[in-house]
Amino acid sequence: MGEGARDVASACFACNPKGASEAVASAVDAGQRCGIMDLSFPHGEVSPAKPTPPEDDRRAALSAHRALNRHPEGVTDEEFLAGAPFFDPHDLVQVKYEMLRRAWNDRDDRNVSRTAAAFGFSRPTFYEAKKAFDTGGLPGLLPQKPGPRRAHKLTAEVLDFLEQVLAGEPGLTAAELARRLHTQFGSSAHPRSIERSLARRKKRGRPTQGAGGSGTHP
């Protein structure tokens, strides 16, 4: 044990009644609590690793829980731009929740569209999030766990969702629909699979707009 660690153990024994061994094990923390900020590490001992910035830890945790907002630059709401640490544009659940809170009772679609845009979303996404929150609370705002890339993922529920999105934004491409699908359900589908499935529905009498194969629309 180096002299610096022994000093910390002695100085912090009183504030750590469990004993000097725990004081040494948490030397940096104990030193901070006792006002000893400059710990020495004599030659031959290993210096502590450089601490990870808190924001990196937070983003890693968000990513692990599928709650990392991949487009934080789209959040232009004033509270998020003010720089307060509480508001994090990388936190997908928080961004969606604040969006819902801001326009929950608004009946004007134009106001809803403006509010959604300030949080990086579209009006259909607002209503999708509102429905998800109604049925699942905060966990409902998380994308579902990703699944295999299989055609059976384009279930009736998924196709209903895609048609609802297209009804609000007829000019969306199949590639954009695939992105919305992944955001909402956590599953993946090739844009061509989406086009074919929607086309089959249309032939069966289910009208569908947009999602052109070339990605361009009149």
Map out the domains of the chain as residue ranges.
Answer: 1-51, 54-203
Gap between the Cα atoms of 88 and 33, Å rounded: 29
Gap between the Cα atoms of 36 and 74, Å rounded: 43
Task: Return the pLDDT at 50.
Answer: 54
Task: Return the pLDDT at 94.
Answer: 95
Task: Return the pLDDT at 48.
Answer: 52
Q: What per-residue string of b and e applies to 118-136 under the rule 16 or more CB within 10 Å gives b? A: bbbbbbbbbbbbbebbeee
Gap between the Cα atoms of 134 and 78, Å rounded: 26
- The residues with which 68 forms a beta bridge, in sequence order, are 91
Over residues 51-105, the pLDDT tens digits come to 556 777 888 999 888 889 989 999 999 999 998 889 999 999 999 999 999 999 9
Task: Return the pLDDT at 205.
Answer: 67
Task: Return the pLDDT at 53.
Answer: 61
Gap between the Cα atoms of 111 and 52, Å rounded: 41
Low-confidence ranges of the chain (pLDDT < 70): 1-53, 144-153, 205-218
In terms of C-beta density within 10 A (0-12 exposed, 13-18 middle, 19 or more buried), how is residue 174 classed?
Answer: buried
What is the chain's Cα-based Rg?
A: 26
Over residues 68-78, the pLDDT tens digits come to 998 999 999 99
Gap between the Cα atoms of 204 and 67, Å rounded: 37
